[in-house]
Structure 1
Amino acid sequence: MQQSHHSSERIIAWAAKAGLFALLVLPLYVSTSLLFPFITGKNFAFRIIVEFVAVLWATLMLLDPLYRPRLTRLVKLSTIFIFIVFLADLFGPNPYRSFFSNYERMEGFMMIFHAWLYFLMLTSLMKTSKDWMIFFHTTLAASILVAGGALLQKFGVRISQQGGFRVDSTIGNPAYLAAYLMFHVWLGLILLGRLWRMFWLRILYGAAIVFEIIIVYFTATRGAVIALMLGAVFVLAASVLDWRRVFPQALRRPRWASALLALVLIVPIVFWQMRNTSLIKISPVLPRFASISLRETTTQSRFSIWRMSLSGALERPILGWGQENYYLVFQKYFDPKLYAQEPWFDRSHNLILDWAVHTGFLGLAGYLSLIGASVWGIIAAMRRGRMNRWEGLLLVSLFLTYVLQDLFVFDNLNTYLLFFGFLAYVDFLTAPRPQKPAGQSRGVNRAGAYALGSALFLGVAGVGYVIHIKPMLEAKALIRALVAVQGRAPLDQIQGAFETALQYHTFGDTEVREQLGNTSRQVPDDARSTDAEKLRFMDFALRELGKEVDRQSPDIKHMIFLAAMMDRAARLNPAYLGSAESLMRRAIKLSPTKQILYFQLAQIYLEENKPNDAIETLRSALYLEPSYQQAAVDLAIVGGVAKRLDALTEAGTYLRLDALDEDVLARVATAYQQVNDIAGAEKVFRRLIQKNPGNARYHATLAALLNVLGKKEEARLQADEAARIDPGFRAEADEFVRHLSQ
């Protein structure tokens, strides 16, 4: 009977471990039936598997105390960190969003809690080196397949719809892929060191490492490549300087070790010296590295975003804003100089600042303590002789390069799997081992343990249906609604499909409403539907998106989106314009430095026949950042429409005609003509002719302007040029010249 009990415990333990190993292949999973196929399905699968493995683990804890978590340093620190995150999310401005996130990110407390639970289960279930070798080989095999998918992309096989020269494989993002593979480069080196004596494994691991480094290069992710190179310098330098202790089996340091270190140091220097040569420029990847500069637009924008993030973190320094609430910092502290960048950011794109914003400096300290404690534990274990120095150096480099590359990006499920996995491995290597082997507990009520485990399974299944299955069903319903839109179904059917999706009432409602809003923008122009049908659909869409705006901490992205929808709906019901105006005034109070809010409000004023209000609004936008040409152009055009010479003249002082394209120049020229500013119009038409000298109409118009200004000889030349380019102007040009002679 005792043997049978032990056998059942082993089965449960191996089932739990199998579940943990299964998590490692999730990077290969692409859920094509969901809206964000590289993110949503992976995360739902991760959470569901973790929860059911947790049920098995809980049963094991009831059967044998040795499966219960040991209060090691890392377990304590991780638990404190999770508690801080919980408080930050609970007391943040938008707790619901902090806990459940959205389909696009699938993070928030739900993610970090499941990652912590995954870490605890690894520390409790992975009892032997054999367990960890299975873990490592499983994730390494998965990474090779992921890298293989990236290689197929280089040969034209489309896995991702993003295209371009940067590969992303089944991860769906080049930067995410680089970070994921970077972990496995260090892991491959660890396994290479462990199994060095076997020649064929040396070849196998070496090939895998080189292959994954090549794919990291093909991602063209600068942060990851720089981090890998710095990590390589650290490991090589430490090995060369302390060769005998790193490789005690080697009698003396080989020359190639120093040569390799020198090569790693010299290659970046040589590359930088050659960065402007044709050899570098012909590559689609290398110019990204050659363009690294503190003055580069991307770099400058990151600095601006980091300054905004720091301002937000300092406003709420203890517990921060809660996860997924970066949008509040972004809209409050928006730097107007970012007008040329992406309009919306939901992350700092910096690990340190993200945690500072989301969880305050308290949460940031908690997160960094996990890394610091891991590195300290590794160093201490190496000093005591409990850890191979080669492996220790690689683990230290793994954590350091993880932090370095995360200074330019942010975490996701693929990196969380590995980060928390290696935290658990360090805990296994550095924490004291239990004295009694599992499977020798006494006096356990096994029937009660199995009954509680079964009850827990049912409870987890019930809760899981609400927090996982229902959002998945809503996501699938949303896809059906979008298919109906693409298939040009009648409006009532499309509305019904969206209503079905919204009946699930989950965190996916926000995404459904955003997609509904996108759909509604085309409805007023739908020639197949009656005005009554279009108005009914618009009322439904506006009502639903309005629920997002009515939240305690609204997102100005939703506000401007809703105002634009109201502007479109005003064709069917003019009463919407007043609501749109009020909404944009409210949005500007929340984000007074975001120019596009002013542009939308000015558009609404024009629809309401309030051109003077539109001009004052556009002036406010221009003053935020005078170098923003769109603001100056819009002010000029509206000034022309409103016959306001003062507005057009003011806009002209900020316009850089050489920076404007032909279509915009033509609109500005028309504005000058509308206010009868002949000199201004002449200047713009001269620039238009420089842009497109073969346009006869430009020459003819300039000729007329020059005539008014008294420049008759030049006017005659321009008229002749118009006729030369387009003979259809000949009669008009001859008449014009005769008029000049009179």
Structure 2
Amino acid sequence: MAEAMTDRLGKTFSYLLLAPAVIPLVYVSGLVYPYVATKTFLLQGIGIIALSVFAYLALSGRPFYYERLRNRLTWIPIALLTVAYVASYFGVDFYRSFWGLFDRGDSLLTLTVITTFFYLILISAPTPFGVGAPTSDVGADRQLLERLVRTVAAVAGIVALIAVLQWVTATLGGKPWFLPPITGRIGGTFGNAAFLAGYLGMSLFVILIAMRDSIGFWRQTYKIFAVLSVLAIIFAATRGTILALVIAGAVALAYAAVSEGERVKRMARYGFIALAIFMGLFFVFRTELMQASFEPIRRMASISLSDSTVTSRLFVWQNVGSEALQRPWSGYGAESIASIFNRIYDPSSIVEQWFDRSHNAFLDYFVQYGIFGLALYFAVIIAFAVSSVRIYRSEPPGLLNVGFLFLLLILAYSIQNFFVFDTPSSLWLLYALFALCISATTNVPTTAPAWLARLPTFVPALACIAVFSTIIPAVAFPLYANIMLTRGYLYHLIDVPRANAYFERGLALGTYADLEYGYQAYSMYTDRQAVQLLGQNRISAYEYALSVLTANFNKYPYDARTATYLGHVLDTAPPEVVVNNDFDMEVLKRAIELSPLRAQAWYMTTNIYLRKADILPAGSKEKEPYYREAIKILETYTGKEPTLPVPRYILATIYYALDDAETAGKWADSALPLYTKPDTAAAKPAVKYYIAIRDWRNAARFLADLVEKNPSDYDVLYDLAKVTYLAGDPAKSLRIVEELRKKNPEIIGTDQNFLNVITAYESQK
């Protein structure tokens, strides 16, 4: 019976090694971050199950290719993992480093699982490509490589097909139920254009390998998959991957032009010339192409040092790199880039508000794991290339030589990762192929240590159960917490007590989800609950958000995001609630310390004093000290960050309230040139100031921006109608009134004086 169990587990084991190849297809809409979290839970769960089965097989005396571990190239992944653990132990927060967050899926746990897969595939895969032959059957599928290649190729083809269908239906204005929803650029089953392109940029070469070794129907299918992959990468408009494939294509053409048959050489040379001409024309007409309606062309043409995304990336690279040089040997630990990003954040130079990656995988490794981590990451890439060269030499040369295709794969991977960050799916694929590359060039027999035969019969089962049981805290509990967070979200407006009950059930598990619960509590409360709820429901929502964010504020003292969010929740407390201003000041002080140039904490600190002034009677002299404190804070911030119009307009309104019209005008005049694009944060105080000084033209301009941002805010739209009339454009004002008569006729009667004036104008037409 034990032998039958071992045989069944042996067959299952080979499928478990292949299972992660299917994960890119999977997403579940019932989770927070459905595209990422689903894949992360599956990868971690399958990894734990595979390791538990391996423990049973290995301790039962099943032979494996242990001799491959003598190859020094195989030591690199475990060395990188060790460095990652050491760096994280001495880094910002080992707990956060080990578990990560739902929105990324990257963590020490994920890296551990991927590294485990590398070694399980390495010692299980028979020698492929016809190089050598295993001396005995280890129970692993002798076609493991072929199955892995075909699985990756088929999955990548389907992923590419879904992405192409997304683009086609979005272009035609449709939203089929069977396709993932689109937010921004197409992301397929990854929900993110960069993740999609990064995965397909690697799997494209695996598809070419599968095509090479197939005939008939499957060969034609893989050709279609290859075309779909290229189209999906183009439609995703991810510039790093497109550039990587162009360079890889140029290398392939150059290789074919010197090493293939005469006909292929001639075609390759023509292709190389055509590519050069195309690139030349692209740069010549780059200015015109920047206005193209086709987004991939527009994004590629917009690459320049003046492009906002490019300048933002360069700023992040420079400043994050400078911070990394403060700890070049030890690094800051896994999942620690967010704390560095917050320190160097500058709203005038960075596009993203919150970010936990530098958009450069090499810099990410250096920041997290220091110089040793970066060196070992380079070593993985170089070792992959070395193994690919060995495979190349074992086969007849040619464009479809497996070793050459692997070289193109690692080239594309390296180039695209210079502009994006690694994902678990792409890193797993790299490690799996790396393991197979080593297997292809290492002909050793299978062995089983003799001491295993002396183990008691219960040991394999006990070890299997022990390893398998780790799936409960590692996967099951976080998954349940994610589900509870999702269920609570569904009820956070219609049944607050029920929503809070779900949230409490999820938090009671004590998982790493608590930080994500805080972020989501902030978003739910400030975006919707504080605006749409009233009475006890709003108070309950506020109290829940306050409690979870306060707990995280104490548990994660390095997290600027939690401190800022907690300050914002306190800033938007229901009027029935008394806010502890001392605690509020403590929260905002930490937020400023952790992210000195982030504006929100400075504004909310100002609001503490403005709230104190607002509760005093109109015209009270006691208001002035509070206004002066607010001015001091804002003037300090404008000295640190002189490019933002928001604090200048707030200063203008405060000085105007102090009857200092001259100083108010100076601040407003200095703010106006800085307002270069619609910004509601700046428009609101600007409207308040310009209405106060009766500058109707500028007031109308900023009100129009507010309306554009939120067309359903009919109060603002009505204000725009009145201010537009006062600015000397009654015809436009009447058009706005006519629009309001259709959408919200009741609001027109709220200002009888204006209604009389606009009605009189209408009757004179």
Q: State the TM bucket, normalised to the shorter chain.
A: 0.7 to 0.9
Q: Which residue of 1 aligns with 2:650?
A: 634
SS in 2 for 1:39: helix
Name which of structure 1's ranges 112-121 and 128-137 shifts more when overlaid on structure 2: 128-137
CA distance in 1, matches of 2:534, 2:465: 50
Q: Which residue of 2 aligns with 1:408?
A: 419
Residue from 579, 586, 589 that aligns with 1:582: 586
Q: Which residue of 2 aligns with 1:621?
A: 637
Q: 1:586, CA displacement in angstroms?
A: 2.3
CA distance in 2, matches of 1:529, 1:279: 51
Q: 1:81, CA displacement in angstroms?
A: 0.7
Letter in 2 for 1:174: A
Residue from 514, 520, 537 that aligns with 2:519: 514
Q: Which residue of 2 aligns with 1:145?
A: 158
Q: Which residue of 1 aligns with 2:47?
A: 50
Residue from 361, 365, 374 that aligns with 1:364: 374
Q: How does 1:32-181 map to 2 (within 5 A)?
A: 32-62=29-59, 63-68=61-66, 70-129=69-128, 130-153=143-166, 154-155=168-169, 156-157=175-176, 163=182, 166-181=185-200
Q: Which residue of 2 aligns with 1:470?
A: 477
Q: 1:547, CA displacement in angstroms?
A: 1.3
CA distance in 2, matches of 1:286, 1:353: 28
Q: 1:186, CA displacement in angstroms?
A: 1.2
CA distance in 2, matches of 1:596, 1:616: 16
Q: How does 1:651-690 map to 2 (within 5 A)?
A: 651-656=668-673, 659=676, 668=686, 670-671=688-689, 674=692, 681=695, 684=698
Q: Which residue of 1 aligns with 2:659?
A: 643
Would the aligned equivalents of 2:290 and 2:302 in 1 still touch at CA under 8 Å?
no
RMSD of aligned Cα (Å): 3.5
Would the aligned equivalents of 2:651 and 2:664 in 1 still touch at CA under 8 Å?
yes
Q: 1:370, CA displacement in angstroms?
A: 0.7
Q: Which residue of 2 aligns with 1:715?
A: none
Quickly say closer, same or farther: Cα 1:526–1:377, change in 2 above 3 A: closer
CA distance in 1, matches of 2:699, 2:522: 40
- With structure 1 as the length reference, what TM-score do the two structures score? 0.84
Q: 1:242, CA displacement in angstroms?
A: 2.9
SS in 1 for 2:69: coil
Alpha-carbon displacement from aligned partner over 1:372-418 (angstroms, at most 9, x marks no partner): 12213333554577987733222112111101111221111221221
CA distance in 2, matches of 1:446, 1:665: 77
Quickly say closer, same or farther: Cα 1:559–1:17, change in 2 above 3 A: same
SS in 2 for 1:24: helix
CA distance in 2, matches of 1:495, 1:689: 37
SS in 1 for 2:572: helix
Q: Which residue of 2 aligns with 1:562?
A: 566
Q: 1:613, CA displacement in angstroms?
A: 1.8
Q: Which residue of 2 aligns with 1:484?
A: 491
Name which of structure 1's ranges 375-384 and 16-25 shifts more when overlaid on structure 2: 375-384
CA distance in 1, matches of 2:422, 2:449: 43
SS in 2 for 1:66: coil
Would the aligned equivalents of 2:91 and 2:332 in 1 still touch at CA under 8 Å?
yes
CA distance in 1, matches of 2:334, 2:654: 41
Q: 1:635, CA displacement in angstroms?
A: 2.4
Q: Which residue of 1 aligns with 2:325?
A: 314
Letter in 1 for 2:547: R
CA distance in 2, matches of 1:269, 1:234: 18
Q: How does 1:694-713 map to 2 (within 5 A)?
A: 697=723, 700=726
Structure 1 residue 455 corresponds to structure 2 residue 462: yes
Would the aligned equivalents of 1:24 and 1:138 in 2 still touch at CA under 8 Å?
yes
Would the aligned equivalents of 1:55 and 1:456 in 2 still touch at CA under 8 Å?
yes
CA distance in 1, matches of 2:211, 2:704: 63
Letter in 2 for 1:268: M
Name which of structure 1's ranges 470-479 and 114-123 shifts more when overlaid on structure 2: 470-479
Q: Which residue of 2 aligns with 1:502?
A: 507
CA distance in 2, matches of 1:318, 1:445: 40
Would the aligned equivalents of 1:636 and 1:647 in 2 still touch at CA under 8 Å?
yes
Alpha-carbon displacement from aligned partner over 1:303-342 (angstroms, at most 9, x marks no partner): 1111121022111111211111112101222234236x22
Q: 1:149, CA displacement in angstroms?
A: 1.5
SS in 2 for 1:659: coil
Q: Which residue of 2 aligns with 1:289?
A: 300
Letter in 1 for 2:37: T
CA distance in 1, matches of 2:443, 2:281: 49
Quickly say closer, same or farther: Cα 1:666–1:79, change in 2 above 3 A: closer
Would the aligned equivalents of 2:687 and 2:703 in 1 still touch at CA under 8 Å?
no
CA distance in 2, matches of 1:285, 1:158: 25
Residues matched between the structures, number: 689
Letter in 2 for 1:403: S
Would the aligned equivalents of 1:165 and 1:285 in 2 still touch at CA under 8 Å?
no
Alpha-carbon displacement from aligned partner over 1:157-199 (angstroms, at most 9, x marks no partner): 356765257322211111111111111211222334445xx46
Q: How does 1:153-232 map to 2 (within 5 A)?
A: 153=166, 154-155=168-169, 156-157=175-176, 163=182, 166-194=185-213, 198=215, 202-232=219-249
Q: How does 1:255-334 map to 2 (within 5 A)?
A: 255-277=266-288, 281-334=292-345
CA distance in 2, matches of 1:30, 1:177: 13
> Which structure 2 residue ranges, 5 or more long, are not aligned?
129-142, 170-174, 614-625, 706-716, 730-753
SS in 1 for 2:176: coil
Q: Which residue of 1 aligns with 2:252?
A: 235
> Which structure 1 residue ranges, 5 or more long, are not aligned?
244-249, 704-721, 732-742
Quickly say closer, same or farther: Cα 1:730–1:367, change in 2 above 3 A: closer
Letter in 2 for 1:305: V
Would the aligned equivalents of 1:304 and 1:335 in 2 still touch at CA under 8 Å?
no
Would the aligned equivalents of 1:21 and 1:135 in 2 still touch at CA under 8 Å?
yes
SS in 2 for 1:550: helix
- With structure 2 as the length reference, what TM-score do the two structures score? 0.82
CA distance in 2, matches of 1:283, 1:105: 29
CA distance in 1, matches of 2:424, 2:635: 45
Taking every aligned residue pair, what percent have the same amino acid on both sides?
23
CA distance in 1, matches of 2:406, 2:702: 61
Q: Which residue of 1 aligns with 2:23?
A: 26
Name which of structure 1's ranges 394-403 and 492-501 shifts more when overlaid on structure 2: 492-501
Would the aligned equivalents of 2:16 and 2:46 in 1 still touch at CA under 8 Å?
yes
Quickly say closer, same or farther: Cα 1:657–1:375, change in 2 above 3 A: closer
CA distance in 2, matches of 1:689, 1:46: 50
Q: 1:546, CA displacement in angstroms?
A: 0.7
Would the aligned equivalents of 1:93 and 1:553 in 2 still touch at CA under 8 Å?
no
CA distance in 1, matches of 2:424, 2:703: 54
Quickly say closer, same or farther: Cα 1:352–1:697, change in 2 above 3 A: closer
Q: How does 1:575-614 map to 2 (within 5 A)?
A: 575-609=579-613, 610-614=626-630
Q: How does 1:327-406 map to 2 (within 5 A)?
A: 327-338=338-349, 341-380=351-390, 382=392, 390-406=401-417
Q: 1:629, CA displacement in angstroms?
A: 2.1
Would the aligned equivalents of 2:304 and 2:310 in 1 still touch at CA under 8 Å?
yes
Q: Which residue of 1 aligns with 2:438?
A: 427
Residue from 542, 545, 568 that aligns with 1:541: 545
Q: 1:553, CA displacement in angstroms?
A: 3.6
CA distance in 2, matches of 1:279, 1:83: 46
Q: 1:38, CA displacement in angstroms?
A: 0.6
Would the aligned equivalents of 1:641 and 1:671 in 2 still touch at CA under 8 Å?
no
Q: 1:524, CA displacement in angstroms?
A: 5.5
Quickly say closer, same or farther: Cα 1:61–1:164, change in 2 above 3 A: closer
Would the aligned equivalents of 2:696 and 2:723 in 1 still touch at CA under 8 Å?
no
Letter in 2 for 1:215: A
Q: 1:203, CA displacement in angstroms?
A: 3.3
Alpha-carbon displacement from aligned partner over 1:418-462 (angstroms, at most 9, x marks no partner): 1111211221233x311x356xx6967669475322112221232
CA distance in 2, matches of 1:232, 1:24: 25
